Structure formats: C-alpha cells, structure tokens
Amino acid sequence: MPEVRLEGLGKTYGKVVAVGGVDLVIRDKEYVTILGPSGCGKTTLIRMIAGIIEPSHGKVFLRGKDMRGVPIEDRGIGYVFQNIALFPNLNAAQNVAYSSRARGADKGVQEKVAREHLKLVKLLDRMAMFPDEMSGGEQQKVALARALASGSDLLLLDEPLSALDARVRVDLRYELRRLTKALGLTVVHVTHDQEEAMTVSDRIVLMRAGTIVEAGSPEELYSQPKHLFTANFIGESNFLEGWVREKVDSLTRIEIREGSTIEVLGSTLEPGDPVVISVRPEFIYPFTTGLRSKVTSSIYMGTYWRIKATTEGDDEMNFDVPITDGHLYQIGQDIYLMVNKRAAVLFPRPREGVEEAISLE
C-alpha cells in the first residue's frame, strides 16, 4: 500500500519559489508522471519525496506515515537518477547488490540478489562489467535493477531516460512500464518529454512554475485539456482567437479575427465572451469552404506532409496530409480549411494573452 500523499508541499530558496504548495495523492500501484518544462520544479518535488531535499513547508506521507525527519535511507524507496550514478568503483553485480550489502547481508545473498535483478533487465551477461564498459542504455538498465533490488514497492524515477540516445530512450520506455507493472510497483516518474509521459503513464501530472496545472490520464489531457497551457505543452495545437457570437442548440458559433466563423460543439461560454479555440493539426482539413488561407510551406515528414498555411486574419495553421494522398499543396496556393467541430476545444481568452498563457515559464 505505498500510497504517496503530498500536502501543501513547497520549497523556496530565498525569494525564489521552486515548488509552491503542491497537493497530490498517488495511489497504490499507480504509474504517475510528473511532466513539465525545465525549471518547473518537478525535480525538486521528487527529491522532496525522496528526502534528498528538505521541504520549506508542507508534508510528505509515504504509506500513510509522515516523513518529516526520516532520512533518505529509511524511506523505503527505489530511486533512479538522471545521470545514472552507477558507482564507478563497483561492477554491475556489485552495484545491484549494494542495497543488500548496505543492510549487512552476506556474500551469498548479495550474489543471489544481483543475479535475480540483472536477469529482470536481461543483463546477466554484464555482471562483471564496470559502468564505463557499458553503453548508456545498459548502464541505466543496471541502475534500474539496482533500484528494484532494494525491494521497495515505490520507485522514484528522476528523468531516467534523458541522458540516453533517442532510440534507446524509446525502447526503454516500454521496458519501464512492462517491468513495473509486472512487479506491481507504484511509480513516480519525472520527465520533460510529453511523448514519454504519454506512453508510460496511468496518469500525468502537468506542472508549470512550481505548481500543478492539471492532472489526468494521457487521453484526458490530450483530448480534453482544461488549460491552454496543457493544450500547447502536450501534443501540438493551433490557436485561433475570437468571440462567441451565438449559441444554437448544442453548437457554439465563434467569430474569429477576419470575420469568418467557426462552429464548435458545446460550451459554457456566453455570447460576447472572448475565446481561444484550440485544434490539433489532425483535426484540420482542407475543404471547399472554410477559412481562406494561403499555403506557406509544405514539409515531407515520411508518413505525412506537414502543411503550414496563413489565414486571412494572419493566424498560422498547421495540418497534416497523409502521404498516400500525394503532394497536393504547393507554396502560395489558396485553400479553405475546416475545423472538426467535435475535436476543437474552447477556452476563455486569458487576460494576459495567449502567448503568455502558453509560455513555459
């Protein structure tokens, strides 16, 4: 039952607020990613959970117990570091066996633990190798085995894949999820990579500037973001600014800058309200009518063409055309764009402006 509960957890350095009053519950056996741009306080947060950083205020509860004054080594956690941090003076087996050695176990037990966990990550043949003799991916797998070998059912991963090559990073994602689910662990995984967060998590907690923006399943955050920031940070979005003109039945009709209108399904906003429409590139398509635009670039992406077009109101729109449709659009060409009314999301227009609302700071 390794539930993680954070109550008003915060850290300030002088006047700088790194993390400001975070409340969060992570359930048993849940895989949660803390996602956010660099400097959003996610690493500080996970370090406070581990006890590496002392909180300025608020509390950390692990398994229902207040962790104040409990040193790192007594918190019963497994931790994987961004910079891998395998002990350079020990070989793979000795690294993995370290937790049992630290508890005073004898040589036989240590060896057994090392074998068992290296087998889990399929690196039994690397037992006698020292960290600098292994590839980055292998090193991080050994580091994972080392954390698992501590026997803890709570695993904290601090940007575990950031230091690795792109290809290895993608492979290890699936490995991480598979292993931790098989072992029934509770996982807190910190990352700045939204794609990584989407692939591994049960739930994503999105942070910005020291606070939680919103939390939800990858699908929820992608298709029904509650904040403009989420719409921009997770996946890609086109933003169009306008005003609610009228509401007809379940349809909301929006007038955007150049005078054209767009229809969107459902909304609590009232006529006259300033709004921002957020639409994913996959939900914009060329049609015989719609927003009049001019193609400004057409980029070959392998499986699709990424087309950029500028509307009459000077908004930039990105959309994708499957490669199987052929190379249909040339630069300078005039086209009409339609927005899928089911997939567009409406937000009240932020007072500080769209740019500011989606900025990473």
259 binds another protein (CB under 8 A): no
104 binds another protein (CB under 8 A): yes
- Whole-number minimum distance, CB 147 to another protein, in Å? 7
- One residue of 17, 52, 251, 343 binding another protein per CB under 8 A: 52
Interface size with another protein, residues (CB under 8 A): 26
- Whole-number minimum distance, CB 162 to another protein, in Å? 14
251: which residues sit within 8 A by CB, 6+ positions away?
A: 263, 264, 265, 341
Task: Judge whether 96 and 165 are in contact, CB under 8 Å.
Answer: no
Strand partners, 263: 253
- Whole-number minimum distance, CB 153 to another protein, in Å? 14
Three-state DSSP state, 229: helix
Residue count of the chain? 361
Shorter beta-carbon distance to another protein: residue 120 or 212 = 120
Q: What does the alpha-carbon distance between residue 117 and residue 170 come to, in Å, rounded to a whole number?
A: 22
109 binds another protein (CB under 8 A): no
Shorter beta-carbon distance to another protein: residue 103 or 342 = 103
Residues 146-165 that bind another protein (CB under 8 A): 146-147, 150, 156
Question: For 54-91, b where at least 16 C-beta lie within 10 A, e where not — what string?
Answer: ebeebebbbbeeebeeeeeeebebbbbbbebebeeebb
Segment near another protein (CB under 8 A), from 79-87, 202-210, 214-222, 240-248? 79-87
79 binds another protein (CB under 8 A): yes
- One residue of 2, 10, 78, 160 binding another protein per CB under 8 A: 78
322: which residues sit within 8 A by CB, 6+ positions away?
A: 303, 304
Shorter beta-carbon distance to another protein: residue 9 or 154 = 154
Three-state DSSP state, 257: coil
Q: What does the alpha-carbon distance between residue 135 and residue 78 come to, in Å, rounded to a whole number?
A: 22
Positive or negative torsion for Cα 37, 190, 145, 201: negative
Shorter beta-carbon distance to another protein: residue 84 or 345 = 84
Segment near another protein (CB under 8 A), from 10-18, 142-150, 189-197, 250-258? 142-150
Strand partners, 65: 62
| 92: enclosing H helix or E strand | helix 92-96
Shorter beta-carbon distance to another protein: residue 99 or 201 = 99
Cα→Cα distances 226→15, 88, 215, 321, Å: 30, 46, 10, 28
Shorter beta-carbon distance to another protein: residue 72 or 323 = 72
Shorter beta-carbon distance to another protein: residue 89 or 268 = 89
77 binds another protein (CB under 8 A): yes
Q: What does the alpha-carbon distance between residue 43 and residue 188 come to, in Å, rounded to a whole number?
A: 11
184 binds another protein (CB under 8 A): no
- One residue of 72, 301, 328, 331 binding another protein per CB under 8 A: 72
- Whole-number minimum distance, CB 102 to another protein, in Å? 4
Three-state DSSP state, 341: coil
Task: Judge whether 100 and 109 are in contact, CB under 8 Å.
Answer: yes
135 binds another protein (CB under 8 A): no
Site string for another protein, 81-100 (x = CB under 8 A): x-x-x-xxxx---x---xx-
300 binds another protein (CB under 8 A): no
Q: Which residues form the interface with another protein (CB under 8 A)? A: 50, 52, 71-73, 77-79, 81, 83, 85, 87-90, 94, 98-99, 101-104, 146-147, 150, 156
